[in-house]
Amino acid sequence: MIVAKRKPFEEIKHFLKGYKKVLNVGCGTCVAVCLAGGEKEVSVLNAELDMARKIDDNPIEISGITIERQCDREYLEVLDAKVGEYEALLSMACGAGIQFLAERYPNIPVFPAVDTTFIGVNQAVGWYEERCRSCSSCVLGQTGGICPVTLCAKGLYNGPCGGTNKGSCEIDSNQPCAWYMIYERLKGQGRLECILEITPANDWQNQTPRTVIQPGYSKPETAGK
Ligand code: SF4
Ligand code: SF4
């Protein structure tokens, strides 16, 4: 899932300084699970903003709505009839959701209320760990299912580096060496030969906005592109 955290309150308050009527739009998917931007977080932030603006003698009329997913056009539709009433929108979705919202309502300023952090997993309650940087060249098949881009301090596709030290990383001895873990995992699977396979330098495909069109969903005009 995509993990995010709420922006510092003062930053959000600063965004909205000049606006009197604002709609805060939450997202009911990833950011709700990581307690950053779901229905409850929308209510809490709105109450904080309402109180702070009253104290500043600059009251704000702030409403909230949480939709299923902001990164999906189908769910944004419910906002069409509402947004015209507001001077600005606040979004508690991930960066993709915020941009989709801004694209749908280009004449209304849209401000982010969360910082999108990474693609990760939920290790325990409130403990999220990064596991993927969307590199577009997944090597998990050769690395025993351990991501070197995310878990190796140098993001090495081929490792370990010369600094690996009895299972720890040279950059931080409290951090396990990703390539040591990969070695151990492959050894346990009887697939150690995989560590000798050289992965060529990456084209760094994630420097441009990438697009994925699932073949089953492609429209005639996009098929074959
Ligand atoms: S190698 Fe790592 S960063 Fe790249 S796609 Fe696979 S899990 Fe994600
Ligand atoms: S010691 Fe291991 S995890 Fe650390 S940078 Fe080198 S290969 Fe990567």
* pLDDT tens column, 83-141: 999 999 999 999 999 999 999 999 999 999 999 999 999 888 888 999 999 888 889 99
* One domain for residues 141 and 78: no
Q: What are phi and psi of 111, to 5 degrees?
A: -115, 140
C-beta 164 within 6 A of ligand 2: yes
Question: Could you tell me the CA-to-CA distances from 48 to 54, 117, 126, 186, 200 in Å, in that order?
Answer: 10, 23, 22, 51, 51
- Considering only 64-68, 86-90, 203-207, which range has the smallest mean pLDDT? 203-207
Residue range(s) defining the domain that contains residue 40: 2-118
Average pLDDT estimate for 37-42:
97
Q: How far is the CA of 11 from the centre of ligand 1 (A)?
A: 32
Q: How far is the CA of 168 from the centre of ligand 2 (A)?
A: 8
Per the listing, tokens 């050289």 go with 198
- Considering only 48-52, 59-63, 109-113, 204-208, which range has the smallest mean pLDDT? 204-208
- Domain end: 62, 94, 118, which one? 118
Domain tally, the chain: 2
- Considering only 53-57, 159-163, 190-194, 215-219, which range has the smallest mean pLDDT? 215-219
Q: What is the pTM of this model?
A: 0.84
C-beta 147 within 6 A of ligand 1: yes
* One domain for residues 192 and 89: no
Q: Residue 193 has which token pair?
A: 């030969």
Q: What residue owns the CA closest to ligand 2's atom 7?
A: 160
Q: Which residues contact 157 (CB under 8 A, 6 or more apart)?
A: 139, 148, 149, 199, 201, 202
